[in-house]
Amino acid sequence: MLRTLIKGLFPGLMHRIENESRSWMMQCRKCGHETSVWDYGGMRYRGLGPVYRLGRCRGCHRVSMLRVYQREDSAKR
């Protein structure tokens, strides 16, 4: 719903948010499975540094702390 609202009001901003969210990855600490924050259903824009979030891994389907980090090849800073 938030994505739809932002897309309707600020289409240019939504494009930047999507591009940056795709460069942030979520990695399971148990099995190592990775997926982008955008594909996981989230948004991360202008984030600084890695963080940890509690969530269900799409690889092993267990609840664990997921490491959120920006890929090296797309890091601008």
pLDDT at residue 74, as a whole number = 64
Mean pLDDT of 53-77: 86
pTM given for the model: 0.77
| Centroid of chain to Cα 70 | 9
Using CB atoms within 10 Å of the CB of residue 68, give its burial: 0 to 12 exposed, 13 to 18 middle, 19+ buried. Answer: buried
Residue range(s) defining the domain that contains residue 61: 2-74
Q: Which residue has the higher pLDDT, 74 or 52?
A: 52
**How many domains does the chain contain in total?**
1
